[in-house]
Amino acid sequence: MNTVRIQGVGWINATGWGRVLQSQAGAYGDGAGIPPWKDPGLFPVPVKNMARFDVAARMTLCACALAMRDAGWTLGDGTKRDMGLVGTNGEGCLTANQTYFQDYLAGGRVLARANLFVYTLPSSPLAEAAIHFGLQGPMLYIGYPGGGLAELLGTAVLMIAGGDAGGMLAVKADEREAVAFILAPGNGGGGSLSVGDLVKGLPAGAGNRDWIERLEQMMKGSGGV
Amino acid sequence: MKVLVVQQDLVTAWGRGMEACWAGLMSGAPAFTDVSRFSTKAFNAHIAAQIPGLPEGGDSSRVMRMLAPLLAPLAGALPEGTLVLLATTTGEVDLLERHLLSGTPARDQSRLDVLLGRIQAVLGVTGPGRIISAACASSSAAIAHGASLIAAGERDSVLVVACDAVTEFIYAGFASLMALDPEGARPFDKARKGLTAGEAAGVVWLMSGERANRENRRSLGEVAGWGMSCDANHMTGPSRDGGGLANAIDKAFRRAGVDCGSVGSVSAHGTGTPYNDAMEMKAFRQVFAESPVPVYSIKGSLGHTMGAAGLIEMLVALKSMEMQVVPPSANLHEVDPEAVGWVSRHGVTTDGMNVVLSTNSGFGGVNAALVLKS
């Protein structure tokens, strides 16, 4: 894990958002709602059809955008990137499955809605992110029962080290919280954190909040970026 | 580190095992039958490639009934440390259908991690497994992931389990997208109109060459290269230029250390939808520099088995090298002009075919390619 560095981290939850390497965080104002998918500061170019996305897809997009901004990337310029996307969550797309099939049943089992059916894949939110951000590397969902972010980052590192992509966006997104990491090859220096140091400092089963706090500690320890 | 296939099993609409599957494919006929498990009256198609003889009713899901005979011989046989990868798109979604229709079983019984737990319980595996889902490239993505772990020395034994069933859930969804061909899928046919839903389950046991040699395991073939990409273009439609798939194939070639001249045949995703098959032919023409290589699709025979498709197609591709025969593309009547010279409705006998390519694509623009060696 020493040759792959974290270049950006973004998170959102029920009360706020953060960009870890830039030490930026904020709380939602009254009525702002979560996730902040209409915020032009986050999405300079509006995400096509985002109003139709399910909540998990919106959370995924928001966390990815925050991570990319944290890495200092310009968003919405139409650039295609040799970057892969691997994502995980707790329950796959069970809620989307239920929404789609309930709607079909309510309609008399005659006609399903295509725009609900397309979200009945665990990889659908990732696909929306890949399309909006122009990510042309590998794109897949991996569920890690009993595991989580450490395994997700390990997969992203494996894919970079194996030459599958020039960089990876790794995201864990549920309906109430999401965190995304930008990983790329590198040997240290300013503007990045060690994946290995991060993972070593956390117990198995650590939650998103534990990860964010660990990252913030690392930032303080390095004097910031 | 070499990645070898040391054991496999499958069940398809042609029945249990590769011999039944191969015989069915070589017949050139579709294994499509009328759907009777749910009403298709409201849809434009009424057929699917369904596994015959599966017991109906009971508490278990259809995919577990498909998987049980495949998993039983492996129970207790996997060495400690074997990682189980489950590849699927919807898993036990028929349990969710039942829950929403009758209240039982509980909603969570259709979670993919619950299915993985059931599979591991049958196998007697206690360590953590993983669920891989990349739309209709799920099982090729799982094979790629397992191969990556072995190649990097992180694992030396990985079992990939793939499954998806024909359910009202998916049938209604594909119907809503107008993606079903009422006459049955006709991959690479000039008049193709869409796919036919299919179901299948399969298992592939991957092992490092070192461990396989140490344990005197017979190799059924090598997963020599893999590559994935995303079109980053559209949720349900592929990139029109085939560039994304070509990119995945290039990665797989580089990983395998082969070039296009060494590839004896291509197992295409070949769903039978107008856009998918056109995209694939553009990619193949680009990769193979307009020099035709035998291309085939088994989906005109076995239907689109979704998350299981990549694994089933990989096993058929390995069998084709063993038999030195490129299987026919079933249900093909008039070859699309873009595929003339590449795709045939007849099987082709070859000689010296020891490298083949297998590709899959799916919703969200995902592409996956596997290079296999005999």
Cα–Cα separations (whole angstroms), residue B262 to B54, B231, B248: 41, 26, 17
Chain A contact for B289, CB < 8 A? no
DSSP string across A92-133: TTHHHHHHHHHHHHHTTSS---HHHHTT-STTHHHHHHHHHH
Least confident window among A145-149, B33-37, B269-273, B308-312: A145-149
Cα–Cα separations (whole angstroms), residue A89 to A51, A214, B160, B198, B225: 21, 20, 21, 28, 28
Q: pLDDT averaged over chain B?
A: 97
Length of chain A as a residue count: 225
Cα–Cα separations (whole angstroms), residue B7 to B77, B204, B318: 11, 6, 12
Amino acid identity of residue B100, one-letter, is: L
Cβ distance of A127 and B131 shorter than 8 Å: no
The mean per-residue pLDDT over the stretch A101-109 comes to 97
Q: Of the candidates B204, B247, B209, B202, which has an alpha carbon nearest to the alpha carbon of residue B226?
A: B247
The mean per-residue pLDDT over the stretch A137-161 comes to 92
Sign of CA dihedral B180, B181, B185, B186: negative
Cβ distance of A127 and B128 shorter than 8 Å: no
Q: Compute φ and ψ for A46, nearest 5 degrees.
A: -55, 145
Among A111, A159, A162, select the one facing B42 at the smallest CB separation: A111
Q: Compute φ and ψ for B327, nearest 5 degrees.
A: -65, 160
Residue of B nearest to A134 (CA): B232
Q: Which residues are registered as beta bridge partners of B343?
A: B295
Is residue A180 exposed (0-12), middle (13-18) or buried (19+ Cβ within 10 Å)? Answer: buried
Which residues 182-211 of chain B have a CB within 8 Å of chain A? none
Q: Which residues contact B329 (CB under 8 A, 6 or more apart)?
A: B187, B188, B270, B296, B297, B298, B300, B343, B344, B345
pLDDT at res. A191: 65
Q: Identify whether the C-beta of residue A171 lies closer than 8 Å to the C-beta of residue A63.
A: yes
Among B89, B131, B255, select the one facing A143 at the smallest CB separation: B131
Q: Which residues contact A137 (CB under 8 A, 6 or more apart)?
A: A81, A82, A83, A84, A85, A159, A164, A165, A166, A167, A168, B228, B229, B230
Using the predicted structure, report yes or no on whether residue B359 has a pLDDT greater than 60.
yes
Interatomic CA distance for residues B304 and B285, integer angstroms: 23
Q: Which residues contact A35 (CB under 8 A, 6 or more apart)?
A: A12, A55, A58, A59, A61, A62, A178
Count CA atoms closer than 13 A to B361's CA, side-chain side. 37
Q: Which residues contact B214 (CB under 8 A, 6 or more apart)?
A: none
Structure confidence by residue, pLDDT tens digits, B76-127: 999 999 999 999 999 999 999 999 999 999 999 999 999 999 999 999 998 8
Angle at alpha carbon of residue B207, lines to B203 and B211, rounded to 5°: 145
Assess: ipTM above 0.85.
yes
DSSP-derived 3-state class of residue A208? helix
Is residue A204 exposed (0-12), middle (13-18) or buried (19+ Cβ within 10 Å)? Answer: exposed
The mean per-residue pLDDT over the stretch A3-8 comes to 89
B273: its two tokens: 């939808």
Structure confidence by residue, pLDDT tens digits, A15-37: 888 999 998 888 876 555 566 66
pLDDT bin (cut points 50, 70, 90) of residue A224 is very low
Q: Identify whether the C-beta of residue B4 lies closer than 8 Å to the C-beta of residue B207.
A: yes
Is residue B188 exposed (0-12), middle (13-18) or buried (19+ Cβ within 10 Å)? Answer: buried
Q: Distance from CA of residue B312 to its chain's centroid? A: 4
Interatomic CA distance for residues B292 and A11, integer angstroms: 49
Cβ distance of A118 and B97 shorter than 8 Å: no
The mean per-residue pLDDT over the stretch A169-173 comes to 96
| DSSP conformation class of B272 | S
Cβ distance of B108 and A94 shorter than 8 Å: yes
pLDDT at res. A45: 84
Q: Identify whether the C-beta of residue A141 lies closer than 8 Å to the C-beta of residue A126.
A: yes
pLDDT at res. A77: 76
Cβ distance of A130 and B365 shorter than 8 Å: yes
DSSP string across B110-161: G-HHHHHHHHHHHHT--S--EEEEBTBTHHHHHHHHHHHHHHTTS-SEEEEE
Give the orientation angle of helix B18-27 with respect to helix B309-323, to 10 degrees: 80
Chain B contact for A11, CB < 8 A? no
Structure confidence by residue, pLDDT tens digits, A48-102: 878 888 888 889 999 999 999 999 987 777 789 999 999 999 889 999 999 999 9
Q: Is the peptide bond before A145 cis (omega within 30 degrees of 0)?
A: no
Rg (Cα) of chain B, in Å, rounded? 19
